[in-house]
Chains A and B, each alone.
Chain A
Amino acid sequence: MVILPELVLLTGALAFFVVSLGKTPDRNVVKFTALFFGLATFIAACLSFQSQATLFYGVYAVDQYSQMFKVLIGFSLAILLVAGQYLKGIEVSVRAEYYLFLLLSVLGLMMLVSSVELIAIFVSLELSSFALYLLVPMRDDRTGIRMQMEAGMKYILFGVMATGIMLYGMSYLFGLTGTTYLKDIMTFLSKGNLQPAVVVAVLMTLGGFFYKLAVFPMHFWVPDIYQGASNETTGFIATIPKLGAVALLIRFLIVPTGHPQFLVELLAVVAVCSMFYGNLSALVQKDIKRMLGFSGIAHAGFITLGLLTMNGEGYGLAIYYIAGYVLMNLACFLVISNVSQAGENLLIEDLSGLYQRQPVLAFILAVGLFGLAGIPPFVGFMGKFMILASALRADHLLVVCLAAINTAIAIYYYLSVVKAVYTADPGGRPSVLVHPAIQAVGVIVVFAIVLMGALPAKFVDFAGAVVQTLL
């Protein structure tokens, strides 16, 4: 029972394998199977929330930390599957396969948050990544969109390269320490063995993790893949894998005695570069997914800022921030995938007058964007505020000031979308019909965004306490 959510996902993937064997699977069967397994995963994750176990010779830890992330992943998956249930961008005949790989990818992420050993990390990371590489080019090309092929190629090539770098770093770590267990590696590092080989090994391994989170030097895949993948796929790429990446990074960075200075400085530089690069590039984007991609790079920088303090509080805040970020992105992608008529990409101007065409979606999008911009009382503000506070406490004044300036830059491009939604003339664009269930899910997400922003104490305390158990 301790790995119930993983088992549910695996069953789901197998079920879709069976469904995909038929010639043309019925679209409703596929849809409802997906919805069923999405909800089932969430429920299973909730049920196994209290489980504790160490499996497979200690490489697989089911602890409070992993279970918390599994609940978050399950929740996001359920929201995502309901919001994107029409899968407009995917041809009907491959939808069963699409869900097969989607669930496998989520399975990989669920395994990732439980992995505490390099090989296990590698296996689950690759399970998640390779399934994801396949989702990108599955986009329907009947509408004349061919860029998903290019995006898929780029994604797999860059991804494999990043994996290679990470593996190379891991091999060094193994060579230096003689173990693949994270715990022993961290003990070795905390003793202050800082020969150049250690630095190189840590940097390379981190590089692989940064690739998943899309932090600055490993960010370059983001814009093209976000734009090339179908709206639903991008919604997935932008949310759930980031949860896994943060979980992994924290596991990797947690050292009881604190970290060598070089790592702190590295993270600071990476954070600032991510924020500036992401925000400045997002300013000029016209495609909304591309813009959200760049904004994601900037937010990844903010999360790195939370990790920078290298203490339980900072890690807890990073978890809070990423959970909030996922919620806000889900709100945005819920709107994007439902406003898009036939799964085409949306330019920002395509959202013109959404307020008149579909007021509920306009409201959800506005809350999501204002939240991402960090305006109170939404979760984005609280996360930003607390991360800045903890970073300033750790004496990173310059970084904090630069981050604050970035907030001001970011508001412009978020606001330009809100401007289109609320002030621009629809200009003959048709009104948008949305299923009430999707609207309800959107309102739930909005509610969660406000609630987490207004009453963050419980969540942050819990996340902080959970991280403390890892120390």
Chain B
Amino acid sequence: MDLLLIKEGLPLLTFLIFLPLAGALVLLFYHGESFARLWTLVITALTAVTSVLLLSGFNLTSSKYQFAEAYDWIPRLHINYIVGVDGISILLVILTTFIMPFCVLASWKYIKSRVASFMFCLLVMETSMIGVFVALDFVLFYIFWEFMLIPMYLLIAIWGGPRKVYASIKFFLYTLAGSVLLLVAIIALYLKTGSFFIPAMMWQEYSLTFQVLVFLAFFLAFAIKVPMFPFHTWLPAAHVEAPTAGSVILASVLLKMGTYGLLRFCLPITPDATMLLATPILWLSIAGIVYGGFTALAQQDMKKLIAYSSVGHMGFVTLGIFVLNSRGLEGAILQMINHGVTTGALFLCVGMIYERTHSRDLAVASGVGKYMPWFVTFVAVFSLSSFGFPGTNSFIGEFLILAGTFEHNTILALAAIPGAVLAAAYMLRLLQKVVWGGIANPDQSYLADLSVREIVTLAPFLFFVFWIGLGPQPFIDLIHTSVSHLLEQLNNWQQHHQVVATVLWR
């Protein structure tokens, strides 16, 4: 267990995982609407504040798993309760804990029926999301990973839009179907290594065939979650029908689980297969970037537009992961956070306009700038951030990824450029319509500008857009050690093994 830095004293990660769950159990007994709102806000805020302790205690120079806790769980099958964070997961945990209070705030008025049940689902979601990012035992990971489907399904299916039934079932079936073979792969790995401890599965001598099969099982599960290009069709449906908080959670956290999985599992557990199959996946990412861009350009529904833009943005992330160099990987992790911040904020904005006009149609929302100056200011900044305007967060992420891609292969990088241009095109189109519209604007005079609650909800996102955009160093510092450790191990691996990949694909 020398890979773990065991946390002495307060079990911080366990506390983070189970505090929301404990809060949810309280809601089973007290159903009052205003109590449920306040209570959930308190619990999520408390979780967020506690998670800051992770940052203060995090050792930047160590690539080990920190704040680790290990307990026996099912000794017969060597399943243990092991949790820990490293540079790859810490920001994602923080992102999750910080997004949640704003999801509660965004649902303050939006959710009118069955408030307690809604908040219950949100809290259970938080437990399983944090669990996914910190689990270091594969069974524990899988339990959180699968269990998450239930509250998310209910969030969409009960509080969703008109086509909620279709969207929620599609979401559930897609993601579940993707992960059944993941389970088989996990068991197969266990039988090879005799343990479910994830780091113990990494960098082991598996045969290439075995690696490829495991990789494909992993890839199917994670690519659906990301979603990568041919597996993305559940996303627009789910995003459009989900309530605002659901969309934000989906965009900001759930999609990250796919890329986190690719990074955490595919790379170190099946390095040969990763190198063998990197090229087709890179081109799939390019396809996703371009496809997402073009499709977003044609959308009339604002949520759909942002959903397709997510397909493009996540394409950048997978691109960064599979170029397998330090710029690409760091950019990818940073871009995961950026996408979480920016797209989450955009969904919040759409939710706010929806609460007023009861429509997500771009035509109905055009020209609101005149009556909602605060609102359009926020939208403007988040739109600029979304297409990577210099000075905002996505610029740093996309820049790093593209730099990494150029390092890897120039043609590939050139192919990704149109995606960046398309992003500007569709986001500016959205922005132009929302702020000014045209001559045929509907009457918007009944619209009230943002309330204090809504400004409080959006302001932190703004803060992070500029912080990451102007001073990304603290964030990169958090990531850096783990990423360079990962790449170091990958290089060692490459030196010791004859790699077929380069021969095959060049």
B185 CB to nearest A CB, Å: 10
B146 touches A375 (CB 8 A): yes
Q: Does residue A263 face the partner (Cβ distance < 8 Å to B)?
A: no
Complexed CA–CA distance, A407 and B188 (Å): 18
- Do B191 and A393 have beta carbons less than 8 Å apart? yes
> Is there a chain B Cβ closer than 8 Å to A141's Cβ?
no
Q: Is the CB of B164 within 8 A of A401?
A: no
In B44-76, which residues have CB < 8 Å from any A CB?
73-76
Which of A193-201, A267-275, A291-299, A408-416 forms part of the interface with chain B? A408-416
Q: Mark B165-179, 1 if CB is under 8 A from A, else 0.
A: 100110011001100
Q: Collect the chain B residues with CB atoms within 8 Å of residue A377's CB.
A: 143, 147
Whole-angstrom distance between the Cβ of B3 and the nearest chain A Cβ: 24
- Decide: B169 and A419 in contact? CB cutoff 8 A: yes
Tell yes or no: A392 within 8 A of B by CB: yes
Residues of A within 8 A of B149 (CB): 375
- Tell me if A388 and B147 are in contact (CB < 8 A): no
| Shortest Cβ gap from A387 to chain B (Å) | 10
**Hey, what's the 0/1 contact readout for A395-422 against B, CB within 8 Å counting as 1?**
0010011001101100110011011001
Residue pair B187, A422 in contact (C-beta under 8 Å): no
Question: In the complex, what residue of chain A is closest to B181 when comparing beta carbons?
Answer: A404
Contacts of A385 in B (CB 8 A): 139, 183, 187
Contact A376 B75 (CB under 8 A): no
State the CA gap A377–B173 with chains docked (Å): 18
Q: A415-B173, A419-B165 are in contact. Are A392 and B188 (CB under 8 A)?
A: yes
The CA-CA distance from A416 to B147 in the complex, in Å, is 18
Query: Contact: B75 with A411, CB < 8 Å?
Result: no
Evaluate contact between A411 and B172: CB separation under 8 angstroms.
yes
Please judge, given known A-B contacts A408-B176, A456-B74, whether A401 and B184 are in contact too, CB under 8 Å.
yes
Docked CA distance A416–B191 (Å):
35
Residues on A with beta carbons closer than 8 Å to the beta carbon of B74: 456-457, 460
- A411 with B158: CB separation less than 8 A: no
Residues of A within 8 A of B158 (CB): 355, 422-423
In Å, the complex CA distance between A407 and B176 comes to 9
Which B residues lie within 8 Å of A370 (CB)?
150
Q: Which of A388, A457, A460 contacts B183 (CB 8 A)?
A: A388
Answer whether residue A150 sits at the interface, using C-beta atoms and an 8 A cutoff: no
Complex Cα gap A16–B157 (Å):
48
Residue A381 at the B interface, CB < 8 A? Answer: yes
B464 / chain A contacts, CB cutoff of 8 Å:
none
- B interface, size bucket: 20 to 34
Q: Residue B436 at the A interface, CB < 8 A?
A: no
Q: What residues on B are CB-neighbors of A419 within 8 Å?
A: 157, 165, 168-169
Whole-angstrom distance from the CB of A312 to the nearest CB of chain B?
12
Q: Give the Cβ gap from A363 to chain B, nearest Cβ, in Å.
A: 9
Q: Which residues of B109-160 have CB atoms within 8 Å of chain A's CB atoms?
A: 139, 142-144, 146-147, 149-150, 153-154, 157-158
Contact B176 A423 (CB under 8 A): no
Judge whether A412 and B173 touch: CB under 8 Å.
yes
Q: In this assembly, does B26 line the interface, its C-beta being within 8 Å of a C-beta of chain A?
A: no
- For B144, the closest partner residue in chain A by CB is A376
* A457-B75 in contact (CB<8A): yes
Which of B73, B76, B190 sits near A461, CB closer than 8 Å?
A: B76
Cα-based distance from A394 to B181 in the complex (angstroms): 18
Bound-state CA distance A405–B147 (Å) is 18
CB distance A375 to B181 under 8 Å? Answer: no
Does A389 sit within 8 A of B, measured CB to CB? yes
- Rounded to whole angstroms, the CA-CA distance of A251 and B161 in the bound complex is 54
Residues of B within 8 A of A457 (CB): 73-76
In the complex, whether B504 has a CB less than 8 A from a CB of chain A is: no
CB distance from B82 to the nearest CB of A (A): 16
A401 surroundings in chain B (CB, below 8 A): 181, 184
Report yes or no: B180 in contact with A407, Cβ–Cβ below 8 A: yes
Inter-chain contact A423/B165, CB cutoff 8 Å:
yes
Cα A393 to Cα B154 in complex, Å, equals 36
Chain B: CB-nearest residue to A386:
B77
For the complex, give the distance between the alpha carbons of A355 and B146 in Å: 23
Contacts of B183 on A, CB cut-off 8 Å? 385, 388, 404
> A422 to chain B: which residues have CB within 8 Å?
154, 157-158
Q: Which of A388, A397, A408, A460 contacts B177 (CB 8 A)?
A: A408
How far does the alpha carbon of A255 sit from the alpha carbon of B188 in the complex, in Å?
27
A400 cross-chain contacts in B, Cβ below 8 A? 184, 187
CA gap between A415 and B177 in the complex, in Å: 13
Q: How far is the CA of A401 from the CA of B73 in the complex (A)?
A: 26
Q: Which residue of A lies closest to B178 (CB)?
A: A408
Write out the residue numbers on chain A whose beta carbons fall within 8 Å of the beta carbon of B173: 408, 411-412, 415
CA A376 – CA B131 in complex, angstroms? 13
CB-based nearest A residue for B159? A423
How far is it, in angstroms, between the C-alpha of A389 and the C-alpha of B191 when the chains are bound?
Answer: 8
Min CB gap B431→A, angstroms: 35
Given A415-B169, A415-B173, A419-B165, residue A388 in contact with residue B184 (CB < 8 A): yes
8 A Cβ contacts from B400-426 to A: none
Q: Give the docked Cα–Cα distance between A422 and B139 (Å).
A: 29
Residues of B within 8 A of A418 (CB): 153
In the complex, what's the smallest C-beta–C-beta distance from B112 to chain A, in angstroms?
A: 15
* Cβ contact within 8 Å between A392 and B191: yes
Q: Tell me the minimal C-beta distance from B408 to chain A in angstroms.
A: 34
Q: Is the CB of A411 within 8 A of B181?
A: no
B172: chain A residues within 8 A (beta carbon): 411, 415
Tell which of B139, B181, B187 touches A392, judged by Cβ atoms closer than 8 Å: B187
Which residues of A pack against B, CB within 8 Å? 355, 370, 375-377, 381, 385-386, 388-389, 392-393, 397, 400-401, 404-405, 407-408, 411-412, 415-416, 418-419, 422-423, 456-457, 460-461, 464
| Sampled A-B contacts (22; CB under 8 Å) | A355-B158, A370-B150, A375-B147, A375-B150, A376-B146, A377-B147, A385-B183, A386-B77, A389-B77, A389-B190, A389-B191, A392-B187, A392-B191, A404-B183, A411-B176, A411-B177, A419-B157, A419-B169, A456-B74, A457-B74, A457-B76, A460-B76
Residues of B within 8 A of A (CB): 73-77, 139, 142-144, 146-147, 149-150, 153-154, 157-158, 164-165, 168-169, 172-173, 176-177, 180-181, 183-184, 187-188, 190-191
| Further contacts, 15 of them, CB under 8 A, given A385-B183, A392-B187, A457-B75 | A375-B150, A376-B142, A376-B147, A381-B143, A385-B139, A388-B184, A389-B187, A401-B181, A404-B184, A407-B180, A408-B176, A418-B153, A423-B157, A457-B74, A460-B74
